[in-house]
Chain A
């Protein structure tokens, strides 16, 4: 086992996702603690390696069947990289792709794993803080001396720290053969929505705390008055009340408006991941213990229906 930190890059449609740079930044900091190097594992898309200037080294696996993410072949490729680099800590995104890689690696390579991590420290042992129970508790785990896998929450560290203009050495590992049990077929782009919520200055977002479809109406009225767009957390979209293109969070989109008004959103980590970048977050919720108040800049413990109505009226009077 080396003292290296291996960061598993995530990319799709020809570009890296933010999580790659976030982890690269965090990985460099961690490597400083272990005294090893910060190595990036780049599976498929080796032409993107030039963007990884902040890394100490880039190890790529490429070849047929790796252009698009495939849980089976990418897992096998990652295992090959891990075997060749034998890092102390492997950082994988706590994302749709990362979920397929982290657990599989942990079992196959017999490595300890901590998921949903906000931060990782390395001393004699590696410790990680996981955000669990819907954001209500942080759990600090000891993963032993290593090797271990940590899957990092998106947005847990700044992406800028992972950007640099160095020219890291690149090493290539041969793509291992697989059984071909999982076959990529195609990508399906979401239907273009009426509104692109990622491009809005103001968002009025609604969550499970919204009681009925009527409540959506009052939220919509408020949005109209503020010249804002309506966004939502997953449960609202799952129940068919708003289209998918309005969903903020892990399985939705990431938004960075000037003002984000969260109505009846408790603040599950999956949602916070998508909106924590907003310049000002205002949360209105009847539960004063809702985790959303931890990320919000302003909070109100009130019935959202009442606040919306009153606010809309006040704004109309102005």
Chain B
């Protein structure tokens, strides 16, 4: 189709633009290699295949924002097909007489798909532009206290979106119109090109020369524009269409709940940009700046200066502006100077929601942990956190209490829990700090003990031999203290005989299951899993009767981190309680705000709404609900406070799952009130806690 001059011109364009783009991509590769080492290339073929499947099925995108995801799907599937279209158009340009129009059934199908996809892309792209520039969703805005690079804050992301949106409209629109001109030139429509045929009717009166010229202009607008855009891509967020599949393939493959080890023990964590492991640098190139991470971030939601999106955007903008000097050996910038603020670093609850939701496989949370590691190592941990870390170091618990009083909660029981250090047990119960020391949680711990005792389970605890498992210590970046706690616990465990470990605290569960390495080789489970198994094997007999309406909050470290979604729900329902889901459930559960050591730190100044308050309001929006059910000691304290602070006292009751189990077992019935036979005597003192709706 193209004339000789045009062919040479296009070839020159390919060489110049392709060269510039290649330079841009190589530069990115060199930048990424400046990052610290990380093991992400094991089983590369499998990683790539899985990533392509995820991308092909749009799995990571479909997790949220259904309408936007649909529009994106139009553009994505359209462009996937457009690879063929572009190849065809190249052939058409360089092979005289080549055309798919009127060339048989196979070509017809190709034409039909190109015709339909063109329209879908245009619809998808227009919708996305309308959303961004007309509807202006709040979610694309940042809290005013979020640190953002000047260019991004000045509308850089919007401009980038507009440029690429218009590029897509022109590229696809021109190709579509070009076909219409072609049809008009032919003088008749084509049933394989339904929409183009309709448009072609409008060009019916034009002269063949005009139509020929229009076809050439459209070809250049469609194909030439791609070339012109190639060098822009490495600087644009639309680079994601190339980097995101790669980033998904190179995603962390170890368990979610296992943090990568410190790379350089003499200077742990990340102080400067290139202290970050290389996947973190790749993240910034992968980021599409959609703010989905920010939307699910409990810290941003509560008005803190943390935005995981801004972190990635800042990294990217800094690199766009300074990659040359960095590659020339220039100084790597301090992360706290440009990427995020210190207050933001300490706002993270390490709830994993940002990593879970990211459609392009980014993990901003890990950057924050790396930054914490460096800050803590340099002795700059916040004062309130430092005091707790000191207590954990000296006393093995975060409560600043005597290590000897760890098992004091057991004194309220009318039986003695076996000391696993002195006798073999089947189950070793790793109780955890909150369940041991917090007065409200102690009550729950006693209930767990009474249930297991009644069920005849052979279990024991470590008494004062137990130390904090260190899950949150590690997430504050205090790697050395985490190691010290681990060593002490492993030493204690090594001297005991047991077959399995169960925990009350999902945080403890995560650490023992994922981060103790060879120190824990037996299966580790959360008590909800154990209790459900006992119910299913009928070692625990649950009575009949309805026990109200409840909603369940997935704790981050049980649910999102370790996939423990079903056992708690099955238990609640087995106890005769009707379960109503909150809008944000399972993987999308909203963090209570306590994780990552946040529970040890004071609220930041100027927060708008605590995550736990936000969550209680979500539960209250469900209508008449009797119970807010939790399966984490920290949740119990966080949400009982939140019920009060949101003024919902008396309207909803925060209960641990075990309280339902104890009720359904009849453990809380007054002796002699005709309740079902109780295997072993219950605790009379507890009799007041009868179910409100029982």
Contact = CB atoms under 8 A, between A and B. Distances in A.
A212 B439 contact: no
Nearest to B437: A286
Contacts of B55: none
Contacts of B383: 239
B644 A212 contact: no
Contacts, number: 17
Given A212-B601, A239-B383, A309 B644 contact: yes
Contact of A214 (B439, B440, B602, B649): B602
B649 A313 contact: yes
Nearest to B647: A313
Contact of B603 (A212, A239, A303, A305): A212
Interface string A204-241: 00000000111000000000000000000000000100
Nearest to A309: B644
A188 B384 CA distance: 30
Contacts of A309: 644
B641 interface: yes
Contacts of B641: 214, 305
Contacts of B649: 313
A240 to B, nearest CB: 8
Nearest to B601: A212
Nearest to A287: B401
Contacts of A212: 384, 601-603
Interface in B641-656: 641, 644, 649
Q: Taking each of B383, B601, B641, which has the highest tally of chain A beta carbons within 10 Å of its own beta carbon?
A: B641
Interface band, chain B: 10 to 19
A213 B602 contact: yes
Nearest to B401: A287
Nearest to B387: A239
A313 B644 CA distance: 10
A110 to B, nearest CB: 39
A303 B439 contact: yes
Contacts of B439: 286, 303
Interface in A165-220: 212-214
Contacts of A305: 641
Contacts of B644: 309
A286 B641 CA distance: 17
Interface string B373-410: 00000000001100000000000000000000000000
A212 B637 CA distance: 13
Contacts of B601: 212
B54 to A, nearest CB: 41
Interface in A259-318: 286, 303, 305, 309, 313
A309 B649 CA distance: 10
Nearest to A303: B439
A239 B386 CA distance: 12
Interface string A226-258: 000000000000010000000000000000000
Contacts of A214: 602-603, 641
A213 B601 CA distance: 9
Interface in B343-395: 383-384
A214 B644 CA distance: 13
A286 B644 CA distance: 20
Interface of B: 383-384, 439-440, 601-603, 641, 644, 649
9 contacts: A212-B384, A212-B603, A213-B603, A214-B602, A214-B603, A286-B439, A303-B440, A309-B644, A313-B649
Given A212-B602, A212-B603, A214-B603, 6 more contacts: A239-B384, A286-B439, A303-B439, A303-B440, A305-B641, A313-B649
